[in-house]
């Protein structure tokens, strides 16, 4: 029996697949033989995509845009939702409009995508939602990160029942070095990565490929559903 992930003949859709974790998932899926569709607000900003990967436009804040994406995609096998900004700040600092925008993208956008995918995805397919370890590892300035990622974990588990036999899982990353942090001054970004590395058992921050390998495992292991996988260097036990 081969233990290598094989996605030949499969169609994988990655929303948020033009950057960071989503892009690494798209690259790994294409390398495993899948046809891949990546989608984002500005797909033209993506770096050169490997053979077998095509890009589509979608804005997760618009239900119409999400439904139009899945109308264009048609039937497919695996969905990965890897979009969304962060929203740092205590309730004293984070305006409710900014907190709602975060919820619109990362919760309601995922909701619309799962809803649109439900009748188009193969019965032996899978849905993987990118949550985040802030759901359970609490730290100052993260009430919205905690709330949204906890909601995604619950949403994923509940959908594993409703959408069966389609499998539904959540990946909860710790800190992963992606373009999400590109706007930070370099010194601050390096300090953040070094601080995380010093605080977790694995001794380093994550790379997008660490998460992508978990996403391929979830697509191909047909006995895994309704679970949350922490890919975080051990932050939950630190
Ligand atoms: N990096 C981390 O440390 C970390 C930790 C825990 C959890 N996560 C989670 O992992 C996921 C991916 O994060 P990342 O670091 O890989 O982010 P990233 O590099 O910033 O990539 C985000 C992707 O989402 C797309 N996107 C953003 N807003 C969108 C919208 N409204 N509609 C459609 N697409 C949208 C972006 O493209 P456009 O801008 O062109 O739309 C891009 O393709 C997110 O859910 C994040 O919360 C990340």
Report residue 2's pLDDT band, with 50, 70 and 90 as the boundaries.
very low
Decide: 45 in ligand 1 pocket, CB within 6 A: yes
The pLDDT assigned to 45 comes to 84
Ligand 1 centroid to Cα of residue 1, in Å, is 35
Mean pLDDT of 84-107: 94
Q: Which of 20, 37, 62, 81 to mutate to test the pocket of ligand 1 (most atoms within 8 A of CB)?
A: 20
The pLDDT assigned to 85 comes to 79
Decide: 233 in ligand 1 pocket, CB within 6 A: no
Q: Given CA atoms 112, 215, 171, 124 in this order, what sign does their dihedral have?
A: positive
Contacts 24+ apart (CB under 8 A), 38-45: 38/13, 38/14, 39/13, 39/14, 39/15, 39/69, 40/15, 40/16, 40/83, 42/18, 43/18, 45/18, 45/19
Distance between CA atoms of residues 94 and 115, nearest Å: 29
pLDDT above 90: percentage of residues in the chain = 93
Ligand 1 centroid to Cα of residue 49, in Å, is 17
- pLDDT one-digit tens code per residue, 126-179: 999 999 999 999 999 999 999 999 999 999 999 999 999 999 999 999 999 999
- pLDDT one-digit tens code per residue, 175-188: 999 999 999 999 99
Assign residue 28 the CATH number of its domain.
Answer: 3.40.50.720
For the entire predicted model, the pTM comes to 0.97
User: Does a structural domain hold residue 80?
Assistant: yes
Ligand 1 centroid to Cα of residue 123, in Å, is 27
Q: Can you give the residue range of the structural domain that contains 153?
A: 11-229
User: Does a structural domain hold residue 87?
Assistant: yes
User: Does a structural domain hold residue 234?
Assistant: no
- pLDDT one-digit tens code per residue, 110-126: 999 999 999 999 999 99
Ligand 1 centroid to Cα of residue 2, in Å, is 32
Distance between CA atoms of residues 73 and 235, nearest Å: 37
User: Does a structural domain hold residue 6?
Assistant: no
User: Does a structural domain hold residue 26?
Assistant: yes
Residue 1 has pLDDT above 50, yes or no: no
User: Does a structural domain hold residue 3?
Assistant: no
Q: Which of 40, 56, 177 to mutate to test the pocket of ligand 1 (most atoms within 8 A of CB)?
A: 40
Q: What is the mean pLDDT of the chain?
A: 96
Report residue 86's pLDDT band, with 50, 70 and 90 as the boundaries.
confident
Number of domains in the chain: 1
User: Does a structural domain hold residue 4?
Assistant: no
Report residue 47's pLDDT band, with 50, 70 and 90 as the boundaries.
confident
């Amino acid at each position: 029996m081969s233990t290598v992930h094989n996605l030949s003949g499969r169609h994988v859709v990655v929303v948020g697949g033009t950057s960071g974790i989503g892009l690494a998932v798209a690259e790994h899926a294409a390398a495993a033989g899948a046809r891949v569709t990546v989608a984002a607000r500005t797909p033209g900003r993506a770096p050169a995509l490997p053979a077998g990967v095509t890009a589509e436009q979608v804005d997760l804040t618009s239900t119409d845009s999400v439904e139009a994406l899945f109308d264009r995609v048609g039937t497919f096998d695996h969905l990965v939702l890897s979009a969304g900004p962060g929203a740092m700040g205590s309730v004293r600092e984070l305006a409710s409009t900014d907190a709602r925008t975060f919820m619109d993208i990362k919760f309601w956008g995922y909701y619309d995508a799962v809803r649109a995918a439900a009748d188009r995805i193969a019965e032996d397919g899978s849905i993987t939602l990118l949550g985040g370890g802030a759901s359970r590892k609490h730290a100052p300035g993260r009430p919205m990160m905690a709330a949204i990622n906890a909601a995604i974990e619950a949403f994923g588990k509940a959908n594993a029942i409703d959408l069966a036999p389609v499998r539904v899982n959540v990946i909860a990353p710790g800190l992963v070095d992606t373009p999400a942090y590109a706007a930070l001054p370099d010194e601050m970004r390096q300090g953040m990565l070094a601080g995380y590395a010093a605080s977790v058992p694995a001794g380093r921050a994550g790379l997008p490929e660490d998460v992508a390998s978990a996403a391929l495992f979830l697509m191909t292991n047909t006995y895994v559903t309704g679970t949350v996988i922490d890919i975080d260097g051990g932050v939950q036990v630190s």
